């Protein structure tokens, strides 16, 4: 039997949910590694809904589980039902939904609160010494929950290629060790079994983002 890997989503769409290309890349690479993905999302309202053409919030209301089901092709479970015992690893793709629906990072930065369901799941995998893969913005969840852990969100010097580099500085302020890595590279925190890669934190061609996520997935499955 292949490894069973929980994939936690935060909606559908980069500006208010999970980043669709990252989520798809995770699922494709898990399939390639012979692992079985089990997709979960919290049954809560989104912080807000963003019109992805205009980049502006709308008055609409949407549910995180219902929206995430689009990516999972309907094969999804409520995060509240996740049982770490039957699973070998956890992966959380990026997208602003991580900072809006799984936590309050978007509005409160390093003083944010992580959703209790999400925090409980991360702590359960960590306590069971099961690997956790995080990409793009989702390493902020580990930065907040596991002080002193090692992570990458790419580079810590802002430029056209790394527009979100200030995130690395904020992680350092939380007491984490940030390791600069290229978009096609990963960082492995051996002690905490955390595998991270920058994905769309980098202004890079989509195939490089896909390849970096592939390395993250491969290492998570290897550690499981």
Per-domain boundaries in the chain: 4-147+182-223
The rounded percent of the chain whose pLDDT value lies above 90 is 100
46-97 pLDDT tens trace: 999 999 999 999 999 999 999 999 999 999 999 999 999 999 999 999 999 9
**Stretch 109-138: mean pLDDT, rounded?**
97
**Stretch 123-132: mean pLDDT, rounded?**
98
Q: Kindly report the pTM of this predicted structure.
A: 0.98
Q: What's the fold here for domain 4-147+182-223?
A: Rossmann fold (3.40.50)
What pLDDT does 12 receive?
98
Got the DSSP string for the chain? Answer: -PPEEEEE---SSTTTS--HHHHHHHHHHHHHTT-EEEEEE--SB-S-EEETTTTEEES---BHHHHHHHHTTT-EEEGGG--GGG-SEEEE--STHHHHTSBSHHHHGGG--B-HHHHHHHHHHHHTT--EEEETTTHHHHHHHSTT-EE--S-SS-SSS-TTTHHHHHHHHTTPEE----TT--EEETTTTEEEE-GGGS---HHHHHHHHHHHHHHHHHH-
Res. 35: pLDDT tops 90 = yes
What pLDDT does 1 receive?
73
Res. 18: pLDDT tops 90 = yes
The residues assigned a catalytic role are 136
């Amino acid at each position: 039997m292949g490894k069973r890997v929980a994939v936690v989503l935060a909606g559908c769409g980069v500006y208010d949910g999970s980043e669709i290309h990252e989520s798809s890349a995770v699922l494709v690479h898990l399939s390639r590694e012979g692992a079985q993905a089990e997709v979960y999302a919290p049954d809560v309202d989104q912080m807000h809904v963003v019109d992805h053409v205009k980049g502006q919030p709308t008055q609409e209301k949407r549910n995180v589980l219902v929206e995430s089901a689009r990516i999972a092709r309907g094969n999804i479970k409520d995060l509240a039902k996740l049982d770490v015992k039957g699973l070998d690893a956890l992966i959380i793709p990026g997208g602003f939904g991580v900072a809006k629906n799984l936590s309050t990072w978007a509005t409160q930065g390093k003083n944010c609160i992580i959703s209790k369901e999400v925090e409980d799941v991360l702590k359960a995998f960590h306590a069971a010494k099961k690997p956790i893969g995080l990409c793009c913005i989702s390493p902020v969840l580990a930065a907040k929950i596991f002080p002193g852990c090692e992570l990458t969100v790419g580079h810590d010097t802002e430029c056209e290629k790394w527009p979100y580099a200030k995130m690395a500085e904020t992680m350092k302020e939380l007491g984490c060790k940030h390791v600069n890595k290229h978009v096609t590279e990963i960082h492995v925190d051996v002690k905490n079994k955390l595998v991270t890669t920058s994905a769309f934190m980098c202004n890079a061609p989509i195939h490089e983002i896909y390849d970096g996520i592939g390395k993250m997935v491969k290492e998570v499955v290897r550690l499981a």
